[in-house]
Amino acid sequence: MSQKVLVTGTAGFIGFHLALALVKKGYEVVGMDVINDYYDVNLKYARLAQLGIEKKVIEYGKKVSGHPSISFIQLQLEDKEGVDRLFHNEKFDFVVNLAAQAGVRYSLTNPHAYLQSNIIGFLNILEACRHNPVKHLVYASSSSVYGLNESIPFEESQHTDHPVSLYAASKKSNEMMAHTYSHLYQIPTTGLRFFTVYGPWGRPDMALFLFTKAMKEGRSIDVFNHGNMQRDFTYIDDIVEGIIQSMVHQPVSGSDEFDPLNPNPSLSSAPFRVFNIGNNSPVPLMDYVREVEDALGKRAEINYLPLQAGDVPSTFASTDYLSKITGYKPSTPIKVGVKRFIEWYEEFYDEN
């Protein structure tokens, strides 16, 4: 029998790609998403359509079938009864929780959304795993937890006690909540600190999408911190492979790596882990802009602006620990990844 995986956030960018990849590897996937309007819901429904889930059959709380080995249920993380019922009925082997209220800047104006989805919602997932045991809970953290830390590359052993947005604080909270449940109830948990994921079917609020859309429409692009930024841009296929490898490498209790007299924040005597998942190769933002220009065959008109509140000038993931445990090795160059995104963008929006 194939193993069953719950992927929350399946209508989202990473969750959609993960669901496709898991099915290709022989897993049975149950997707879950509330399909909120944080960004264009038509893009979310289009992703689901690629999984064989048509908008017309979606009904809140009702499981529907898609392509072979994929089913879907529209459900809020905050719906405790609904989440409990789903876990009780499905008996999942693995859970990958990618559903969350995303966006650093949105958290400055809509803070309550982050407490509901990212804290209450995640608590419901933890409780469901407690009462319906799973082999492994993998969940989305974020590179934003590093906050004011300027010691790069960012390593999981560094402390993350100075977040600069509520979004980052909510992700830091997820890691602490997961550790508590790993310690108390022996639930194997792994948090993944994602670093600037990009690629086809990406989110409209991310830089590559914003740059491409503006330039194709003949508008200027906004570049913050006057262009003095770098990001560890990571292509979606590399991210997905890293998630799957993390999922099948469960942490165990009593790790010899953990020293209680000198505790490493990413390890524990409990079955708990935190990984960076990035490209391990930061790119100056202006180099990224030039790749977009080259792929589109046009120059960008640029508005240079100050650093935004809640943002940081640099991210750089050390992925040594993830590579050591899982063999993770990102392989997609920026030039290739940007070109693939733009090819998808032009095809998708020409058709729609």
The set of catalytic residues is 167
CA–CA gap between residue 44 and residue 24 (Å, rounded) = 21
Q: Contact 82/34 with Cβ under 8 angstroms? A: no
> Residue 2 gets which letter from DSSP?
P
Alpha helices in the chain (DSSP H): 13-24, 41-50, 80-90, 106-109, 111-114, 121-131, 166-185, 207-216, 236-247, 285-296, 320-326, 334-351
Q: What is the CA radius of gyration of the chain?
A: 20
Torsion, CA 32, CA 37, CA 38, CA 42, rounded to 10: 80
- Of 274, 266, 276, 269, nearest to 252 by C-alpha is 269
Quick one: tokens of 124?
């419901």
Torsion, CA 108, CA 112, CA 118, CA 122, rounded to 10: 170
**Parallel, antiparallel or unpaired: strands 189-194 and 272-277:** parallel
CA–CA gap between residue 146 and residue 195 (Å, rounded) = 11
CA–CA gap between residue 191 and residue 140 (Å, rounded) = 6
- Of 264, 287, 269, nearest to 335 by C-alpha is 287
CA–CA gap between residue 91 and residue 74 (Å, rounded) = 18
CA–CA gap between residue 222 and residue 214 (Å, rounded) = 9
Quick one: tokens of 308?
């935004």
CA–CA gap between residue 239 and residue 18 (Å, rounded) = 9
Q: Contact 33/15 with Cβ under 8 angstroms? A: yes
